[in-house]
Amino acid sequence: MTTSSVFELKGSTFALPVLRLLGTDQEALSQELSERVHKAPEFFENAPLVIDLQAVRGRSSATDFALLIGLLRSNGLIPVGVRGGDKEQHEIATSMDLAIMSPGQPLPRRKPEQASKALSPGHTRLVTQPVRSGQRVYAAGGDLVVLAQVGSGAEVFADGNIHVYGALRGRALAGVKGDTTARIFCQTLAAELVSIAGQYRVSDDLDDGLRNKPAQIHLQGRRLRIAPL
């Protein structure tokens, strides 16, 4: 009995729009993108695109990149890959399931310690030690729970929610792949930056009445809300 194949692979060429980053000012990018989407919503809705990083090579941090991806997805765009950029930017893109589309540029291989941290979709990553300055912790495909403090200069990311059972003094970015229902919970709000799906607020924008107190952060429409916990 002959078994016929249920699929075939073919080479093909698609013309994808390219978002060429010319700077790393997230506030300016958010404002300009919102204006363009408002003018032509049918053009941007569910539109795949490639992010060109050449002009910001070596200038875009992990936080910048996570904010960008969340911002694009919250505006209905679907980033599928990047081109240009440096090794660190490519590693960040790979961790966020984006293809590296630079001609002749191989996909970066994850280091063994990075690969061991990959999570199955829907799982929660549990961190029991303080996240110190310069450290970066990412929960792929699920929530991040930190049973200690997140220090100044530290960065925590999650595709889902973030729970910090201690002081949150660094940067926390939830819903980094565009999940607008994600939330951030912390026992002491003293963050340098908080973000949900690309919408963010920095330390200077925090309400003094909530600073250094238990709080939760979520999106209401396209506005980031911070409320007592």
User: Could you give all domains of the chain from N- to C-terminal order, each with its CATH number?
Assistant: 18-100 (3.30.70.260), 118-228 (2.160.20.70)
Q: What confidence score (pLDDT) does residue 145 get?
A: 96
Contact indicator for 197, 172 with CB cutoff of 8 Å: no
Say which residue, 96 or 4, is predicted with more confidence.
Answer: 96
Contact indicator for 227, 216 with CB cutoff of 8 Å: yes
Q: What confidence score (pLDDT) does residue 110 get?
A: 40
Q: What confidence score (pLDDT) does residue 12 get?
A: 61
pLDDT tens for each residue of 122-154: 589 999 999 999 899 999 889 999 999 999 999
Say which residue, 18 or 218, is predicted with more confidence.
Answer: 218
Strands 199-202 and 193-196: antiparallel
Using pLDDT thresholds of 50, 70 and 90, give the confidence band for residue 1.
low
Q: Report percent pLDDT > 90 for the chain.
A: 35
pLDDT tens for each residue of 18-63: 888 888 888 888 888 888 887 877 777 778 889 998 888 888 788 8
Strands 99-100 and 171-174: unpaired
